Amino acid sequence: MSDALARTALAAYRLAGSLAYPMLGPYVGYRISRGKEDPTRRRERYGYASIERPDNGPLLWMHAASVGESAAVAPLVREIAAHGINVVMTTGTMTSAHFVHDNLADCAIHQYVPLDMKPTLARFLDHWRPDVAIVAESEIWPMTMLELGRRRIPQVLVNARLSDRSFKRWKSAPWLAEALLENLAHVVAQSDVDGERFRLLGARAVTVAGNLKADVGPPSSSEQALAELQWVLGHRPRWAALSTHLGEEALAGDVHRALAQRHPGLLTIIVPRHVDRGDEIEQALLDQGFNVARRSRGEQPDEATDILLGDTMGEMGLYLRLTDIAFLGKSITGQGGQNPLEAAMLGTAVLSGRYVQNFRDAYQRLLKNGGARIVRDGESLASHVDQLLREPERLADMAAAAAATVEEMRGALPRTLQALHPFLHPLKLSISLARRCRPAMPR
């Protein structure tokens, strides 16, 4: 009965994709108009390759949805490519495409991921003919998994996680989850909880390797920009609200207002998760009576500046290095939380709301070691920021504990490579044999 339900549901999904296929043009065009697609590379979303497949040796398809996932698997991509294996890496956002171009262009070919429909996937797979497919974190696309399974291309989920919401949704249709997950040759999970969830849903081979994000270095920063801002800010007390979502900027403003008299010269740094909300956030802060300097306009904060609005892409490393106290958003008014490891790597005391289920393991470790604190609301956030600004010894202890926690969590990369050995070894062997059997050049 469950098999029949799964076949019916997947057939309906396939039919819906076929019916929607003629609408791809308007859909992608709409995303282009919103700045969410690269108009010069829109055909890649239909599965049309913009570059030829390398004709020498095996090829691995690596997929990472966005910047965070791309950064997490970047060292893994380098390790794989170092053995002579060709890598085509797909992502779904323009920012992740820029990341791959800037950081992996010497070892991976970037393409935008094809939409999850049979015609687009058939074109993509016919062109690239991958020997193995590796997908990062929680990207589960039915048509992609089924088509890879039909072609007998091994597919592995790495740095895999399942949020509470996703697990609950899949548990409501276990027959469908099993029908999809049985296509996975291996799941390399972030934590014991994630591993157990994948097992319960029907994954047949599961390994727990830890979080690859702990093995990645901290985000980089322009030394010149950092030096300029540090000189301008001097010894002003400051804290940051990073990767904020709707409602959390207002909370940060309330915290600033509550603490400004107790800490003269206080500067609050607000960095929204979505920088295209910059105009909206700035106007709301101005309406609250704050003096705002906006990074996207190149405005430097002066003595009268209350809030530095960091509405720029690719500068999280800069903002983290400007503060020792960071509240991470999508955790009070949003759901899921944000990755705390980048802040912890730089020795930053981490504050967060309660809703951090997407990064539960990292927060549990930080909380246990004293490198992070959970706040309930704006009033609680103000109280913790106030204490850390008043007690530098306590702040230093939290920062040291955060950095030490990341060191404890390192090691996911070699464990992941070990789990991938059965899939990578045959590719390495084929390269070795090809080199050994290459005919000698005539003299």
Residue labelled with tokens 């323009």: 94
Instruction: Give the HSE-up count for residue 246: Cα atoms under 13 Å, Cβ half-sphere.
Output: 3
Question: How many other C-beta atoms can be found within 10 angstroms of the C-beta atom of residue 46?
Answer: 18
- Cβ-proximal residues to 311 (8 Å cutoff; 6+ apart), any chain: 271, 272, 275, 277, 278, 281, 282, 294, 295, 296
Q: How far is CA 439 from the centre of its chain?
A: 45
Question: Pick the catalytic residue: 37, 44, 69, 248?
Answer: 69
What sections of 58-205 are H helices per DSSP? 67-81, 94-104, 118-128, 142-150, 164-171, 174-181, 192-201
- Contact (CB, 8 A) for 252 and 245: no
Report in angstroms the alpha-carbon separations of 137 from 88, 108, 358, 366, 428. Answer: 18, 19, 11, 21, 25
Structure tokens at 172: 């409501």
Please indicate whether residue 407 is annotated as part of the active site: no
Alpha-carbon distances of 54 from 79, 85, 111, 127, 382, rounded to whole Å? 18, 10, 14, 10, 56
**Residue 238 near residue 266, CB atoms below 8 Å:** yes
Per DSSP, the residues of 170-217 read: HHTSHHHHHHHHTT-SEEEESSHHHHHHHHHHT-SSEEE---GGGGSP
Radius of gyration of the chain (CA): 24
- Note whether 112 and 128 are within 8 A (CB): no
Q: Give the residue carrying structure tokens 């949003």.
A: 334
Enumerate long-range contacts of 278-283, CB under 8 Å, 24 or more apart: 278/309, 278/311, 281/249, 281/309, 281/311, 282/309, 282/311
**Tokens 């996975």 correspond to what residue?**
184
Query: Pick from 272, 367, 252: which is nearest to 315 by CA?
Result: 272
Residues marked as catalytic: 69
